[in-house]
Amino acid sequence: MTLTAAPKTESSDGLDELFNRVNMLLGDPGAGSGSRKELGKSDAFVPRQPRNMRETGINAAMIEKIIMRFLFQVGAETSRRIAAQLRLPYKVLEPLFKQLRSDKHLDLAGTTSTGDSEFCITESGRDRARRYTLECTYFGSAPVSLEDYVASVAAQSIAGQVVTKQDLTRAFKGLIINEAMFNRLGPAINSGRGMFLFGEPGNGKTSIAERVTGAFGSTVWIPRAVEIEGEIMRIFDPAVHEVVEEEGQNSGLLDSMDIDRRWVQVKRPTVIAGGELTMDELEISLNPTSRICESPLQVKSNCGTLVIDDFGRQKMPVDMLLNRWIVPLEKRFDYLNMPNGKKIQMPFDQLIIFSTNLEPKDLVDGAFLRRIPYKIEVPDPSEAEFVDLFRIMCDKLGFQHRPDAIRYLVDTHYRPTNRPFRLCQPRDLLLQVRNFCQFHSVPLELSCEAFDAAVLNYFSVMD
């Protein structure tokens, strides 16, 4: 594979090439006759099981290395279990098994009652496997090609999704969202590019950002690993990606389509990076022991949402982060450096949300603000919204709603000092009231005394 020839998603010709590649992967006999507007649909990409080595997209030498490393660890195993380990059909691996036996690297150890061959590694095979293991210890699922991964991202692009008012209402269920802000969020999400969420702390910026991906309501297929010029890079991360169904439990249409098990169906990802974000997390990392590459955060968030929480308070300077992403935000692809020094082009396909307590204009210059087309302020709630949120939280926390006690709180502790309302305060104050009631062994109820104590504790160093 020639990496420099990787399709560029910003180019019309590149998208046509990707669309044709996707159709080939899906086994569509009419490849090339479709419309690009189909890209991005939740069912636009379903990986089909390869029928031969060529259709895997990777060369036999890579697969041989994984087989030999696996047998180097276990000693002997049946051909079917080896195929299951690599998540490839047995018929794809059968010619390779024959070749390895012919080369005296594998030997037939026996046959199971079901007629399955059991292979063991020979001495020459062990020497070869040892060399392979020094290069890299990976012996998991066979990777997919970079070309196939790029095609899959184009087919499932976040930019191809359309979010309606109903979708956003469903995603934000349980949150109090200002109507004016709600109507601004929808178009920003549909842009599929990026936005600033800014405003005072405690008004739900992070909660909003975390729920945005749910508005798309679709799933995507991601590979467990990708092969890039002989290197293996993990894409699937169980800490980030939520699997839709356990292996082997797909049914109906998907089951009948013979899914390529090297791919995992997950909910569109939401990756959150906070103040601990460093530049290293934005680059491909190499485990020095296993020699396996780990994909950076922006790759793991492809086809989903990447939230930079508490933007402006990262360990790295703001301008360093902005300079790193100014081209990817514009072009929708990123250049990454492989550990061997080669530079590769990867899709940069996610909705990026910069959540900050600071004014965007105080953080970044005009050139960067232009590349983030939406700047949405998360305002303080009105008094009516604040009071209504108390009603909602009383029900959640087991309190009987007492409008008179809440009116006392507002009239006594907010209005006289012009204390601003925050969306987090009803929950936080009610938790303080609950602790007060438990300590004094009194019924769980709202009272003026309990609110006085809660306010004293909560705001003691904030005012």
For the stretch 270-329, pLDDT in tens is 999 988 888 889 999 999 999 999 999 999 999 999 999 988 887 788 888 888 888 898
**The 106-111 sheet, strands edge to edge:** 76-78, 117-121, 106-111
Would you tell me how many other CB atoms lie within 10 Å of the CB of residue 358?
15
Average pLDDT for the chain: 86
- What's the CATH number of domain 59-135, 1.20.1440.230, 3.40.718.10, 1.10.630.10, 1.10.10.10? 1.10.10.10
What is the spatial distance between Cα 123 and Cα 155, in angstroms, rounded to a whole number?
A: 46
- Residue 30 is predicted with a pLDDT of 38
- Percent of the chain with pLDDT strictly greater than 90: 65
- Percent of the chain with pLDDT strictly greater than 70: 88
Selection from 307, 294, 161, 280 nearest residue 237 by Cα: 294
Q: How does residue 27 score in pLDDT terms, banded at 50, 70 and 90? A: very low
Tokens for 1, please give them: 């594979």
Residue 113 has pLDDT above 90, yes or no: no
Domain boundaries, the chain: 59-135, 158-377, 383-458
- Residue 428 is predicted with a pLDDT of 96
Range in 113-122, 146-155, 296-305 the model is least confident about: 113-122
What is the spatial distance between Cα 72 and Cα 132, in angstroms, rounded to a whole number?
A: 10
206-258 tens-digit pLDDT: 889 989 998 887 899 999 999 998 999 999 999 999 999 754 444 444 444 58
* Long-range CB contacts for residues 364-368, cutoff 8 Å, separation at least 24: 364/318, 364/319, 364/322, 367/326, 368/322, 368/326
Selection from 264, 303, 240 nearest residue 39 by Cα: 303
Residue 11 has pLDDT above 50, yes or no: no
Residue 6 has pLDDT above 50, yes or no: no
- Residue 29 is predicted with a pLDDT of 36
What is the spatial distance between Cα 339 and Cα 242, in angstroms, rounded to a whole number?
A: 28
Strand bridging mode 304-308 / 270-273: parallel
- Residue 177 is predicted with a pLDDT of 86
Strand bridging mode 350-356 / 117-121: unpaired
Residue 457 has pLDDT above 80, yes or no: yes
Residue 28 has pLDDT above 70, yes or no: no
Count of residues in the chain? 463
Q: How does residue 352 score in pLDDT terms, banded at 50, 70 and 90? A: very high
Range in 41-45, 200-204, 378-382 the model is least confident about: 41-45
Return all residues near 8 (Cβ < 8 A) that are at least 6 apart: 14, 331, 333, 345
- Residue 250 is predicted with a pLDDT of 45
- Residue 315 is predicted with a pLDDT of 78
Fold of the domain built from segment(s) 158-377: Rossmann fold (3.40.50)
Return all residues near 88 (Cβ < 8 A) that are at least 6 apart: 50, 56, 63, 142, 261, 262
- Residue 86 is predicted with a pLDDT of 97
Give Cα 208 to chain centroid, integer Å.
16
Q: Per-residue pLDDT averaged across 21-33, rounded? A: 42
Range in 324-328, 436-440, 446-450, 459-463 the model is least confident about: 459-463
Q: Per-residue pLDDT averaged across 109-133, rounded? A: 91
Q: How does residue 366 score in pLDDT terms, banded at 50, 70 and 90? A: confident
The structure's pTM equals 0.83
Q: How does residue 43 score in pLDDT terms, banded at 50, 70 and 90? A: low
Range in 102-106, 112-116, 391-395 the model is least confident about: 112-116
